[in-house]
Each structure stands twice: as C-alpha cells, then as structure tokens.
Amino acid sequence: MQLNISAPVNLDLHVPKDFVRGCPRSVRMDIDHLLLAIEALDLEAVEVMLVLIEQLGLQKTIPSRVAFWRLRNTNPLRRNYQRASLSWDELKALVKIVCTIAKQLDTGLRLLLSTHQQMIEGKIEALGLQQNQGFLESYIDRFTSLYIGRMRSPSPLKKEEIRELALQLLTRLLLCSGVAGEFRLWNSLFDGAIA
C-alpha cells in the first residue's frame, strides 16, 4: 500500500459526556476489529500503520511497536487481552490511523462491496466478475484466519458470524474513507455503546 498523506490535522473529537469514566469495552473491540479488517485487506498493513504513526505525528501517544500491540490488546476478545483501557488520546490516534488507511483503500473497498452486492443478486457469472469474487473471498478468508488466530479460544463467534463481521467492517471502512470520515467513525464507535 502506498501512502499519500497530507499534513496531519488536529481533530476536535469530543468524548460523549456519558463516557467520561473511560473508553467502553465495545469501542475497544470495534476499533481493533477495524484494524484487523485493514490487515486482512493488505498484508503489509501493520508496517504501514507503524509508518503512519510517525507521519501523523502520533509518536507521543503510540511511541513504539510494543505500545501499538498493547493498544490492540485492550480488546477484551483478544487472546493476549491487557486488562487496561484506551485513553481518549490513544483512541483518537487509532481513529486517525484507520481513517487515513481507509482513504487509501477507498477504491478497493468499493470494488469488494459492489462485488458482494452482485453476489447477493446472482450477477457475478453474467457480468464475468469471478476474479472480483475471488478477491472478496480472499479477504474474508484472511480476516477469518486473523480473527481465529488472535481472538480467545473457543472463538466467541461462529464462522458464519465472523464472515458477516468481515463484510460489515468493509462497509464501516468505506464510510470512514470519505470527507469527515474521522467524525463519522468516532460517532459510530459510541452509537449503542454502554458507559
């Protein structure tokens, strides 16, 4: 993945007043799942994320690879769950990373989602888009493998539920790839979350 990064922008993402006690469990799960979906889309995604930390000026919040790993492991579903929460600055940094990468993946995300829609409608064969279907299935297989490999065992989700999660995450990534994506993602993370 080639990065096309403009100068970092200082976002004014407000913490909803109901969540002043800390980052909810569901938010930590959601942000980690989005990062996992990015990894499934691009095999070099972790290295790209580490480069982005520097390019976006986030080293104060995420000073090292180990610190990044620890943030990812605040997801309570992880095998290596760190019984800790994310600070608001850490969550904002992860939102910036997700949205920056989603912008780079915009075209691929649209392709995968339209392919999924064409599969539902049974149009793949007629349109000759079997290769696109292969790309989508590869993404779902990689996501499933990453999910099963990194989340606690036995998996809290069945294989079909993991597949559904992988598809939902594509839609969420596409939504945060556009203008004001950071604000959209930030607000969606708290939608339905319990303080």
> Of residues 120 and 139, which shows the higher confidence score?
139
Residue 11 has pLDDT above 90, yes or no: no
Q: What is the mean pLDDT of residues 139-157?
A: 92
Closest Cα to residue 106, out of 39, 176, 44, 52? 176
Residue 62 has pLDDT above 90, yes or no: yes
17: which 2 tokens?
């007043």
- Would you give the end-to-end CA distance of the chain in angstroms? 36
Could you tell me what percent of the chain has a pLDDT over 90? Answer: 62
Closest Cα to residue 104, out of 42, 13, 187? 42
Backbone angles phi, psi at 83, to 5 degrees: -70, 70
Q: What is the mean pLDDT of residues 134-141?
A: 93
What pLDDT does 82 receive?
Answer: 79
Q: What is the pLDDT of residues 69-89, one digit of tens each?
A: 999 999 999 988 878 889 999
Residue 8 has pLDDT above 50, yes or no: no
pTM of the full predicted structure? 0.89
Residue 2 has pLDDT above 70, yes or no: no
Query: DSSP letters along 60-120, please?
Result: TTS-SHHHHHHHHTTSTTBTT--S----HHHHHHHHHHHHHHHHHTHHHHHHHHHHHHHHH
User: Does residue 23 sit in helix, strand or coil?
Assistant: coil
Q: What is the pLDDT of residues 36-49, one digit of tens each?
A: 999 999 989 999 99
187: which 2 tokens?
């607000």
Q: How confident is the model at residue 9 (pLDDT cuts 50, 70, 90)?
A: very low
